[in-house]
Amino acid sequence: MYKDFFNFRELPFKLVPNPAFLFLSRSHEEALAHLSYAVAQGDGFVEITGEVGTGKTTLCRAFLEELDQKFEAAYIFNPKLDSIQLIKAVNDEFGIDSAPDNIKSLIDKLNAFLIAQKAAGKKTLLLIDEAHNLSKSVLEQLRLLSNLETTRDKLLQIILVGQPELGEILDSHDLRQLGQRITLNCHLLPLTFRETADYINHRINIASCKVRAGFSYLALRAVYNYSGGIPRLINIACDRALLTAFTLDQQFVSRKATRCAIRELTRRDRLKTRQLPKKVMIGVGFLLLILISTLFFLYRSGALYITSTLSSPDKIADSSTSLKNETFYPAASNPAPRALVYKTIDHSSPKPLAAPVVGHSGPKETEAIERPHKTNELSVNTALPPPPAEPGSQDKLQSINIFTSRRNALKNVLNLWQDNTKISSYPQRLADNYDFFRIAAEQNGFSLLRMNGNLPLIKKFNLPAILEVKPLTRAALGYSALIKIENNLIYLQNDPGQEPITLKEKDLEQYWTGMVYIPWKNFSNYAGVAPITSPADTILALKKHLKAVGFEKITDNSEYDAFTRGAIQTIQKKNGLKPDGLVGPMTKIILYNQSKSWKIPHLKGT
């Protein structure tokens, strides 16, 4: 009904598990990475669990669609079957004979098929959705199927996907043999509020011919409060909210429209709550009366002493800010569906972010690229003494304006890479700072790494960066270009052409919120995160790169083998990153820094 009104190609919040609409929250991304890694290793069972409506089926279908021709997969989505019916269903999925009515004949045919696939160089997967519905006898039969193997490899890898009850079943004493074969498990979590907003934005972007629909901040908050971050409930609430906005002739969805929609969805629950039996209400009242009488008696008898210490709490500045005038809109383009572009009337400062300590395991690739930074929350500012900076440095930082500073900071950094950096008018109109940096960087041929890091980590990447700074005497944020580090001094530049500000390294944390944006050049166009989402040509180019920087055992083919993973892990360990063997933005930056083939500006001498 509202499809044409909002200019949608298709309805964005249908309940069908369409892989095209898959949104990778942090836990979904981890689950997909675990699946890809486990399949590459080819051993044991894999267990993926999640509450009802968290997107398990969508994740499964997206995963299966990404498999290449090296894999043969069977997908069972209705597992309420007995042992014979299940094996028949598996054989049907693989396209082999399922006519026999005894388990031995069915397994013999399946075994012959698996051996043939192995000889052809293919891996075979069995993915069972809704696996919590499997009986213990069927699960035991699956364990026996996993015994189909050669002397060196398993012939069949089994992936079980289901609700949390699946884990309880597998942990039972009766299935301890199967439980011991679970080599990897992952649990899908509900979305956070920010992920919920990004999820809504993502689906609207995919479904739109030209983005016209948007949700106000308070509408997003209402959807999150109703859904608890469960994608299925988000879809239901947003679909009804869009319909309500359509009837009200609203181009964006307001809090009023959303609350009206949610009120209708929750009407039955409220009616049940209101219609509690009179006996229950009388019983509750009687218990409360007894409790109050008992406490009063104990107090009067001296058995209960109540002391009260009155103090005058320090007055804390009221940092609450009205968000009624703030409206979120999806980004005009869809290169990074996680971000929200919004227009705000009341500009306020975000909460300073403490710089995390990087442990021995190092930062994760996914943490830097997908964790959105909240730019609309306030905090109570604690007065700090001014740091002993160079005279005039504090005054220069105080004069920063957020919109001017972000443009100047980006130009200052990009000018170190190239001449004549140009920033078009479109990104400058965006209120969301991340969207500004991302789109403006892309227009100049750069990728953008955003992270909440610390100075040692920035030194590892050794690239000019944009720091989010907060002057001490006022709440407004600003941005400054980190252009040089030398002799324990930090060189920051605000206005192009002017002398840089210098600070001691130990004083930087007084101004810096911890958020950093690093533009970088993807010279070789390495796509995706290798080996999970990278195409074959990226893997091949990556291996040639590794060979050129000293890893001579690397072979020139498109297989992400053990030598390749080991080389990447060695580089990651050396540079303080988590040695997971995945090639994401952080690892790509390190790889480019190790090569002498490109002209790259650095913060400090190498």
In this prediction, residue 378 carries a pLDDT of 30
Kindly state the tokens that stand for 20: 């095209």
Does the pLDDT of residue 157 top 80, yes or no? yes
What is the domain range of residue 545? 536-594
pLDDT confidence bin for 227, thresholds 50/70/90: very high
pLDDT confidence bin for 570, thresholds 50/70/90: very high
Using alpha carbons only, give the angle 176, 55, 159 rounded to the nearest 5 degrees.
35
- DSSP state at residue 507: G
Are 472 and 553 members of one domain?
Answer: no
Does the pLDDT of residue 277 top 80, yes or no? no
Kindly state the tokens that stand for 5: 């009104």
Is position 281 within any domain? no
Are 371 and 436 members of one domain?
Answer: yes
% of the chain residues with pLDDT over 70:
78
Is position 371 within any domain? yes
Are 230 and 342 members of one domain?
Answer: yes
Question: Alpha carbon 573 to chain centroid distance?
Answer: 24
Does the pLDDT of residue 344 top 50, yes or no? no
446 vs 451: CA distance, rounded Å: 16
Are 114 and 1 members of one domain?
Answer: no
Kindly state the tokens that stand for 129: 């959705």
**Is the dihedral angle over the CA atoms 12, 16, 17, 19 positive or is it negative?**
negative
Are 476 and 363 members of one domain?
Answer: yes
Is position 90 within any domain? yes
Instruction: State how many domains the chain has.
Output: 4
pLDDT in tens, 402-460: 788 899 999 999 999 998 888 888 788 777 888 899 989 988 999 999 988 788 889 99
Are 369 and 461 members of one domain?
Answer: yes
What is the 3-class SS of 72-90, one letter each residue? EEEEECCCCCCHHHHHHHH
pLDDT in tens, 476-507: 578 999 999 998 899 999 887 778 889 898 88
